[in-house]
Every structure is written in C-alpha cells, then in structure tokens.
Structure 1
Amino acid sequence: MKTNPIKKRRRYNHSSKATGSSRPNGQPLSVPVSIEQIVQAVKKMKKNDQRALIEDLLAATSPDYLASIREAREDYRRGRVRTHHDVFSKLK
C-alpha cells in the first residue's frame, strides 16, 4: 500500500467529513468551484496555512519535489551538510 506523500499534520481543514463533500455511500461529490473562488479562499487563509497548502500541492503533484525532500533528509542524516558560513564565505 502506498503512503500518502502529503503531511499528516495540517492547520487547515479540508476533510470530506468536515465539508460534507461526500455522499452517504462514500462516493465523492462533485462541486463546481471556479479558480477565482479558490484564489479568494486562499487569500483569506493565514500565511502559514497558505504555505502548508502550497507545500501539500507540490508534494501531491511533483515526484521531483518529494525526491528532493527525501534526498535532503538523507543528506542531513548522514551529516552531508554545510553551515551558512561555509557556503557563503567562499563567495567573497
């Protein structure tokens, strides 16, 4: 069974139970929503919630994004990291 790449911890609530977006038989309910309605709803969100939503969208739609996160975590675990000073002091 594949695990969902989207973070389990969310600050915004979009579950079908909370919004009533599923039918009693468990099938999804199609609700037409315009892009403008989505944009306006996102604009009303707190900045942290906006960032979390964008990150979740990237994770759900971009295998490259998920691979880069896995790679970065593995680098960190193995100690393959550089300090801010190490990286930027060489640029001078």
Structure 2
Amino acid sequence: MLDALKIDLKPAELIRAIKKMKKKERNAFLEDLLAATSPEYLESIRKARADYKAGRFKTHEEVFGR
C-alpha cells in the first residue's frame, strides 16, 4: 500500500486547474479541502446540523422579512 504521494505542483498550476472546474465541482472540491484541513470547519458543520435537527434556526423570511 502506498503511504505517501509526492506531486511536484506549483500553486499557480493548482489555481489554474481549480479555475477550470465547473462551478459545482469547484465548490465541492473547496468544501472537501476545507473539511480535510480544518477541524474547526468540521466542528462548525456538526454544530449547525445539531442546531437544525433541534429546530434552532430561522427562516429566510424571519431574518430578512421577505
């Protein structure tokens, strides 16, 4: 089994590749990247889901009156 994979990729090349993605794919990739690199982000998602399940949320109309 492979333990590590090293790819020689410059940041500008990665940015170019991401910009070429379709919007939906790009958003999913960026969300996955955040989730993989940020425990705080994952915790915020867990809290938000728990709040939603517990009914602790406001509708768009309640917040913006429209």
TM range (shorter): 0.7 to 0.9
CA deviation after TM superposition for structure 1 residue 38, in Å: 0.6
Q: Is it true that 1:32 corresponds to 2:8 in the alignment?
A: yes
Alignment correspondent of 2:22: 46
Unmatched 5+ residue regions in structure 2? none
**Which of 43, 48, 58 does residue 67 from structure 1 map onto?**
43
TM-score (norm 2): 0.83
Kindly report structure 1 stretches of 4+ aligned residues shifted beyond 4 Å: none
Task: Work out the percentage of aligned pairs sharing the same amino acid.
Answer: 49
For this pair of structures, how many residues does the alignment match?
A: 65
Q: Which TM-score applies when normalising by structure 1?
A: 0.62
Tell me which residue corresponds to 1:3.
Answer: none
Match of 1:77? 53
Give RMSD over aligned pairs: 1.4
Amino acid at match of 2:13: Q
The letter for the 2-side match of 1:81 is F
Give unmatched runs, 5+ long, in structure 1.
1-24
Cα shift at 1:49? 0.8
Q: Which structure has the bigger radius of gyration? A: 1
Task: Determine which structure has greater relative contact order: mean sequence separation of CA pairs < 8 Å that are 6+ residues apart, divided by chain length.
Answer: 1
